Structure formats: C-alpha cells, structure tokens
Structure 1
Amino acid sequence: MRVYIPARPDQIPTITSGMWEPPLGFAVTGPLLDLIDSDDDDELAEVVLDVAAWASLEDLGAPLRLVIVAEVSRSESEAAPDVSPAAVRLTGRIPTSAIACAFMDEAEAGDDAAGAAAGDEDAADRLAERDLLWYDASEIAHLG
C-alpha cells in the first residue's frame, strides 16, 4: 500500500536512518473512495498528497510542507477514519528501502507556509497554488 506520510524537515536524519516510526500516514482508503467519485489513480493520489502535505503544517508544525511516500504492507497499517477519511495508523519502522520519493515546498514558500499555519487564508491560498517539488528517495538526505 502506498502511504503518504507527513513529516518535518528536521526529521530527515531519522527518516533516512531507517529508524523512523511515524504514527500516521494517508492513503487511498475505502472511506476516502466513498467520498470521492473518481477511479483515476493519479487524481486520488493527488488528493492524498494534498491532505498529507497540509497535515505536515497543521499537525506537525513543519516550516514547509513535506511528505514522504512509502510502500507499507497492509499489516503495518490500519484505517483511521476517526482522524480523516484518508488516514491510516502505521506500526513499526519505515525502512529506507520502502521509501519511494518525497515532496517538499521550495524554500521560498516558507512565509506562506508560516502564514497558512497561523490561519492566514491568503497565505493558504498562495501556498495551495504552489506545486510541491518531487525528490527521488536518493535525494531525501540532502533536503534538510
């Protein structure tokens, strides 16, 4: 199962060490499919990426949106519809071999990220218009 995990840039050393144990991620789940009338895998992935990106700001207090994408077995995840229709609780470590890629804001988005996290709707709108940058798993260690 592909899981989109919100993170903070200061967690990158732990993420790349193979010792990272995030409690929550987001995925295409049954409850999410019940809400979204689409069978387009790319569209569903974009929705989940967006939810995880905002969670990195709102729930983790990250200075920039950061999402780590990993493959986990269904036995290592459990739907958490009480948190979000796309949420999954994760158990265990995320090995570096399970990480597919990362998405992160460019540094220039910092002011808008801070404003959005503080409730500034204009900053949130500007941030929503920004594309997250894609990074291969081999590049993640250099993001911090």
Structure 2
Amino acid sequence: MRIYLPATLDELDPAAPLLTGRRAHAVTTALRAALPDEDEEGLEFVAQLEAADLSLELLARDPGAPRLRLVVSADVPETSVGAVEDDDAPPSAVDVLQEVVAAQIVCFLVDEPAASEDVALAAAGDAAALERLEEADLLWYDASELGAVPRP
C-alpha cells in the first residue's frame, strides 16, 4: 500500500527507522467512495495534499524544524496501517502502526526553498500564505536522492 507520511526535514535520518506512530494518508476505500469520478492518479494527489497539510501541523509544533513541508511516500504492507476512528478525519487518513524504514521509501515531496517564508507563515496560521502554498507544487526527489532534498 502506498502511503503519504507528513514529516519535517529534521526527521530524515537515513540510518534510522522513520516515522512511526503517526497519521498518514493513502488511497483508501473511503477516499474512493468520496471521489468516485477521480482516477488513481487524482486520488493519490489528494492523499499527498492531505499529508502536506499535516506536515504544516508538525511544523507548527516544532519551531526549530526547517520551514518546508515534507511528504514521504512509502510502500508498506497493508497490515502496517490501521483505519482512523475519527469522523472529522479526511477519508484518506490512516494511522501508521509500524515503523517505516528507508527501504520502503519511494520518494520525498518537498517545497522549494523559496517557499520557506510562506510555510512559516502558514504554520503560524496565516490563511493567505496557506492559500499560496495550495497553489505551489511540491518538488519530487527519488528515495536515493535524500542528500539532494533542499533545506532553507
């Protein structure tokens, strides 16, 4: 199962297991039901955007982390995720039950360094900055390009 994990750049450590015990997003049955006219690529994009929003929440709680949204895309066994028991959660939400290790990572999606000011403002609750970020594309980096992921 492909999952999209929100993260901060401080959490990327190639030598250690990654990103356990957190909410992520995926193409779930509930997401398919909510968006029946979307194709697979569109559904994956929705899950990715939800993870990017959660990355902002992580940044809001960690003022020392570099101010770029980060989404880690990983392929994990379906048993590694659980259903979310929260009526307010988006239909793509899943809970990560087991650690995600480097070998499961497919790619990283991250803001351009020039977006760091808007990321900082959006993490602090600025609606205009959030709107600008919603129009910005995240840059794609293969799992082997961890060292190339930009940092402000």
1:69-120 Cα offsets, whole Å, 9 max, x none, are 0001111111215133111111222121111001000111011111112222
CA distance in 1, matches of 2:133, 2:38: 27
Residue number among 67, 75, 78 corresponding to 2:79 in the alignment: 75
Q: In the alignment, is the contact (CA less than 8 A) between 1:12 and 1:141 conserved in 2?
A: no
TM-score normalised by length of structure 1: 0.90
Deviates most, 69-78 or 121-130:
121-130
Secondary structure of the corresponding residue to residue 100 of structure 1? strand
> Number of aligned pairs?
142
What CA RMSD, in Å, does the superposition of the two structures yield over aligned residues?
Answer: 1.6
Q: CA deviation at 1:141?
A: 3.7
Equivalent residue, structure 2, for 1:8: 8
CA distance in 2, matches of 1:54, 1:109: 14
Distance 1:104 1:21, change over 3 A: closer
Q: In the alignment, is the contact (CA less than 8 A) between 1:31 and 1:81 conserved in 2?
A: no
TM-score normalised by length of structure 2: 0.85
- Residue 31 (structure 1) aligned with residue 44 (structure 2): no
Q: Which portions of structure 1, spanning 4 or more consecutive aligned residues, are displaced by more than 4 angstroms? A: none
Residue number among 101, 105, 128 corresponding to 1:99 in the alignment: 105
Q: CA deviation at 1:8?
A: 0.3
Distance 1:81 1:46, change over 3 A: farther
Q: In the alignment, is the contact (CA less than 8 A) between 1:38 and 1:44 conserved in 2?
A: no
* Residue identity (%): 39
